[in-house]
């Protein structure tokens, strides 16, 4: 973005001895006279004239005009998301973009100070108040047209009291509004703007039907319930009937939002009555408002006392069934490349956490099933990477565990491999004998039946018994594929590889962290602040030792090897072979 000459002059220090004026029109206190931009501008300008305070003669599009910054925003709202960085730094977002830019300029000493009408026009939340206080302690001259504060402890106390009362006023206002909303919803009143088909006359007690649009909407429900009309057909039919959506203004651009919000020159955006589309017809058909229902305090729909429905419950139910029948999943050609997509699930209801971006930070949200007890519906990427890093660190073998495995490989494992070899040789001899018996029975089947040595049933039963024994011996041979020493060496090597990769995990990009996590974990489940996991492939050996048992199934069918995670030593009792296709593993 090209920098203007005025901005170059500001950065060069041309206006270091000048002041700025800041006016804020609150969106949550519209009845207060101090809330008027016109009133604030007059009082602040008069104060600057009387005190002979020079105002910077600068203007920038969408920000400042003749040294005056005007902003329309509630100062009570603040962002609660924080980012903890290096050197003990904590970052959070300032909701007022113009106030943020003003604070940045003052912090860089581009201007000597700023004039506010009074304290509550500057800030009404602790976060913004902290910024203002830091600027004042740093030597920035902050003036108030309707108040004077001494540069003493008494002045600081007076400012604290006024700041506390200002915040308290906003809290009381918010509580009154929320209480009114709660009572109105409980009574079945429509506290929001009614959708198309109803008239919004500024009275939540009564939402009358739109005489032009309501009959067409009622007909839309009847037509779609027949199953003979598609949503696109309905939109075309509605357009032919002269149906339009309620006139509305388009969304303001970023430049329009930052434009001068003075009372005398508001942004004029023409209202346009748009024609219905596929999506707008779909929104109408799925809205229970047209059934005479309204959302209550618990999120469930209740009977409305403000309006009458356009579709009976039976008709609305048939429409929903028809929509569900016609529903087809849409698959994107290219999915947005967000990390850890489709990996983390809710522990309680097993629904996925889906990544999304808010204010430049990647979050994960889950639409949990009704009745799910998991309180954590959202978390950010920093939380996930921090938890996975801690888990990977715990998977590493300690020095005591490595010493115990080394001892096992040099002593007991040798004996285990001897027993394993003997067991395999014995199984091979039994397998050979069974194959010979089966071959004899197959070659002499007719003579055995004629001599009545076997009945047909007994012969079939004997063959089935021999086949079962043969399958059991084959399973034993497959399960004994790797020696104990080789398995222990692979577990140690796996731990060493993870130990080498872990330091780079902190510096990796989110996508690279996802790749490493997919190698280590097969499942990640979250409940509250607890992240549960299931290790993948060979990492199960490192995972399950937290349960204090070092598993090696016994060749004699006996007990297993135990490893104590706390005492850091091994207790070797009896051994067996690992299951088919696996090396040494640890079991929960």
DSSP sequence for 111-154 = SSEEEESSHHHH-SSHHHHHHHHHHHHTT-EEEETTB---SSHH
Q: Are 534 and 543 in contact (CB under 8 A)?
A: yes
Q: What is d(CA 529, CA 383) in angstroms, rounded to the nearest whole number?
A: 9
| CATH code linked to domain 214-326 | 3.90.1750
**Nearest-10 crossing angle of helices 412-443, 456-479:** 150
424: Cβ contacts below 8 Å, ≥ 6 apart = 476, 477, 480
446: Cβ contacts below 8 Å, ≥ 6 apart = none
Q: Are 131 and 103 in contact (CB under 8 A)?
A: yes
Q: What is the pLDDT of residue 169?
A: 80
Q: What is d(CA 386, CA 517) in angstroms, rounded to the nearest whole number?
A: 12
Residues 5-169, CATH architecture = 3-Layer(aba) Sandwich (3.40)
Would you state the structure tokens that stand for residue 96, as one six-digit string?
A: 């007022």
CA-nearest of 126, 145, 155, 113 to 34 is 145
Q: Are 519 and 344 in contact (CB under 8 A)?
A: no
Q: What is the pLDDT of residue 575?
A: 34
Q: Are 135 and 107 in contact (CB under 8 A)?
A: yes
Q: What is the pLDDT of residue 97?
A: 84
DSSP label at residue 198: B
Q: Are 526 and 345 in contact (CB under 8 A)?
A: yes
Q: What is the pLDDT of residue 106?
A: 93
DSSP label at residue 2: P
With tokens 């920000």, the residue in question is 63
CA-nearest of 343, 337, 379 to 358 is 379
Q: What is the pLDDT of residue 501?
A: 74
Every domain of the chain with CATH number 3.40.50.1390 lies at 5-169
Return the number of other C-beta atoms located less than 10 Å from residue 402's C-beta: 15
Q: Are 19 and 113 in contact (CB under 8 A)?
A: yes
Q: Are 29 and 78 in contact (CB under 8 A)?
A: no
Which pTM does this prediction carry? 0.47
Every domain of the chain with CATH number 3.90.1750 lies at 214-326
CA-nearest of 484, 446, 442 to 583 is 484
Q: What is the pLDDT of residue 293?
A: 93
**What are the pLDDT tens digits along the chain (588 aa)?**
568 889 999 999 999 999 999 998 876 555 554 568 888 999 999 999 999 999 999 998 888 999 999 887 665 556 666 767 767 776 766 778 888 889 999 999 999 999 999 887 888 777 888 888 899 889 999 999 988 888 788 888 888 888 788 778 878 888 898 899 999 999 999 988 999 999 998 888 999 999 999 999 999 999 999 999 999 999 999 999 999 999 888 877 766 666 655 444 445 678 888 999 989 999 999 999 999 999 998 888 999 999 999 999 999 999 999 998 887 666 666 667 788 888 899 998 989 999 988 888 899 999 898 889 898 889 998 888 888 888 888 777 777 777 776 666 555 555 556 666 777 777 788 888 888 888 888 888 888 777 877 788 887 888 888 888 878 877 765 655 445 556 666 777 767 777 777 777 767 888 888 888 888 888 899 988 888 888 776 676 666 665 433 334 443 343 333 333 333 333 333 333 344 344 433 333
With tokens 């971006």, the residue in question is 357
Q: Are 549 and 575 in contact (CB under 8 A)?
A: no
């Amino acid at each position: 973005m090209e920098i203007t000459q005025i901005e170059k002059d500001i950065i060069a220090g041309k206006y270091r001895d000048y002041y700025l004026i800041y006016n804020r029109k609150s969106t949550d206190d519209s009845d207060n006279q101090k809330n008027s931009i016109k009133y604030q501008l007059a009082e602040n300008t008069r104060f600057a004239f009387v005190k002979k305070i020079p105002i910077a003669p600068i203007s920038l599009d969408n920000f400042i005009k003749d040294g005056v910054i005007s902003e329309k925003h509630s100062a009570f709202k603040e962002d609660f998301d924080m980012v903890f960085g290096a050197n003990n730094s904590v970052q959070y977002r300032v909701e007022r973009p113009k106030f943020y830019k003003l604070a940045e300029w003052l912090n860089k000493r581009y201007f000597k100070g700023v004039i506010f009408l009074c304290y509550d026009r500057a800030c009404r939340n602790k976060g913004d108040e902290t910024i203002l206080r830091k600027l004042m302690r740093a030597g920035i001259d902050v003036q108030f047209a309707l108040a004077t504060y001494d540069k003493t402890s008494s002045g600081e106390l007076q400012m604290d009291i006024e700041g506390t009362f200002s915040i308290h006023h906003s809290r009381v206002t918010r509580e009154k509004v929320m209480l009114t909303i709660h009572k109105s919803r409980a009574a079945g009143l429509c506290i929001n703007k009614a959708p198309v088909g109803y008239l919004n006359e500024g009275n939540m007690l009564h939402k009358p039907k739109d005489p032009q649009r309501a009959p067409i909407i009622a007909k839309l429900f009847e037509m779609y319930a027949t199953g003979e009309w598609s949503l696109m057909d309905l939109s075309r039919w509605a357009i032919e009937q002269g149906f339009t959506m309620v006139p509305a203004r388009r969304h303001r651009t970023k430049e329009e939002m930052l434009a001068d919000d003075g009372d005398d020159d508001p942004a004029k955006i023409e209202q346009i009555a748009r024609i219905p589309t596929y999506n707008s017809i779909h929104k109408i058909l799925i809205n229970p408002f047209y059934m005479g229902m309204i959302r209550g305090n618990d999120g469930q729909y209740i009977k409305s006392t403000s309006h009458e429905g356009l579709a009976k419950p039976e008709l609305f139910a048939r429409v929903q069934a028809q929509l569900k029948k016609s529903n087809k999943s849409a698959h994107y050609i290219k999915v947005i490349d967000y990390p850890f997509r489709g990996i983390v699930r809710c522990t309680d209801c097993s629904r996925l956490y889906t990544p999304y971006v808010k204010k430049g930070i990647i979050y994960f949200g889950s639409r949990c099933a009704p009745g799910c007890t998991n309180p954590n519906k959202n978390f950010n990427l920093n939380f996930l990477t921090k938890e996975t890093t801690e888990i990977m660190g715990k998977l590493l073998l300690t020095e005591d565990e490595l010493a115990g495995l080394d001892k096992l490989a040099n002593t007991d494992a040798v004996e285990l491999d001897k027993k394993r070899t003997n067991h395999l040789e014995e199984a091979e001899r039994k397998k050979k004998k069974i194959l010979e018996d089966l071959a004899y029975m197959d070659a002499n089947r007719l003579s055995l039946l004629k001599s009545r040595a076997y009945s047909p049933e007994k012969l079939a039963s004997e063959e089935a018994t021999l086949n079962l024994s043969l399958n059991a011996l084959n399973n034993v041979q497959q399960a004994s594929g790797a020696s104990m020493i080789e398995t222990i060496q692979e577990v140690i090597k796996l731990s060493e590889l993870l130990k080498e990769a872990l330091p780079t995990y902190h510096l990796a990009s989110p996508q690279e962290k996802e790749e490493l996590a997919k190698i280590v974990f097969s499942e990640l489940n979250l409940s509250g602040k607890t992240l549960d996991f299931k290790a993948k492939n060979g990492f199960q050996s490192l995972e399950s030792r937290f349960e204090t048992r070092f598993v090696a199934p016994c060749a004699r069918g006996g007990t297993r090897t135990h490893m104590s995670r706390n005492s850091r030593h091994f207790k070797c009792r009896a051994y067996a072979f690992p299951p088919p296709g696996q090396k040494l593993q640890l079991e929960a």
